[in-house]
Amino acid sequence: MKILVTGAAGFIGFHTVLRLLEQGHEVVGLDNINDYYDVRVKYGRLARTGIEAVAIVQDALVVSSLDPRYRFVRMDLENGEGLMELFAAERFDRVMHYAAQAGVRYSLTNPHAYMQANFVAFLNLLEACRHHPVAHFAFASSSSVYGLNQAMPFSVRHNVDHPISLYAASKKSNELMAHTYSYLYGLPCTGLRFFTVYGPWGRPDMALFLFTKAILEGRPIDVFNNGQMRRDFTYVDDIVEGVLRVIFKAPTGNTEWNGAEPDPSSSPAPWRVYNIGNSNQVELMEFIEALEETLGTKAKKNFLPLQPGDVPATWADTSDLERDMGYRPNTPVREGIRRFVEWYREFYTV
């Protein structure tokens, strides 16, 4: 199949491109390569997919890869006209949408960045899929949509109307926008709520990357909520496996859906949401201890209060994913940390 992967220079997008190519699909990757974090990591990811950094110099430039099944397009998704032209030319079978302005804390200081990247860009993609129909539009949502909800584990049947960051609100909005297009135009859509993704080639603004860098440089690490945090850490390969199972199984309308008692996870339209997480809470201090053991170095800790926009705990109920896709993530945290550290040492010593 021909598949568009947005955010192809990003963390999960890059891993997804590699897996799709391994499976023999034709892939077009799209990314604007913004400078939200160190672009060297983004160019490093692209290099692994056969894209030379020196060739990526201008907007909307299509770059061929060393792999004949892969092409890369540098483009802002806010460019609605350019996106329509791309869809008209390529005729994609499926779309996996990762590109977004990430980061909970960044949304507190730079809210306008989220309006363009997470709202306008998403609308442009929906319009492109509407006018150039695809068999399935899947997109990255986030566990942050659960907001003030304290019922554990987080279920796709829980209410998610109380986000506590603009980032979370943008992801909830994406789910609603996708449902609208699914209902009005029959566009099959699936939202995937990811839970604290980590692993090789991870984002430099995420905790594991920040902790590893600081410990190796002998600097203290910031430990928020005085270490009283619990996260459902999910290894990137597990996320991608879940994504691939979902993208090739487009949703159909739920014939048992009842408007008097509406199920938030499905619809009479071809629309669904799933959690993809490890279904296992890990204490932040346990996570740090595992990293210290892997690095062979104790961390200096700077304990701080809970930050605005953060939630103290996450925990995924993945029963729907297991039922419909026959899959449940299962990589142990210590193994995932070991693989990340191996990559980090190699990447930053080259």
Two structure tokens written together for 22: 């391994």
Q: Which of 70, 98, 106, 167 is catalytic?
A: 167
Chain-centroid distance, C-alpha 165: 17
Q: Is 235 a catalytic residue?
A: no
Task: Give exposure, 272-295, as e/b (b: 16+ Cβ within 10 Å).
Answer: bbbbbbbbbbbebeebbebbeebb
Which helix H or strand E contains 30, and what residues bound it?
Answer: strand 26-31
The one-letter amino acid at 208: L
H-helix or E-strand spanning residue 274: strand 271-276
Amino acid letter for position 200: P
Write out the two tokens for 233. Answer: 């850490």
**How many CB atoms sit inside 10 A of residue 112's CB?**
10
Question: From CA 170, how far away is CA 20, in angstroms rounded?
Answer: 27
Tokens 């008097």 locate to: 260
Quote the CA–CA distance of 114 and 103 in Å, as a whole number.
10
Bond from prior residue into 153 cis (ω within 30 degrees of 0): yes
In angstroms, the Cα distances linking 2 to 27, 72, 173 are 6, 13, 27
**Catalytic residue IDs:** 167
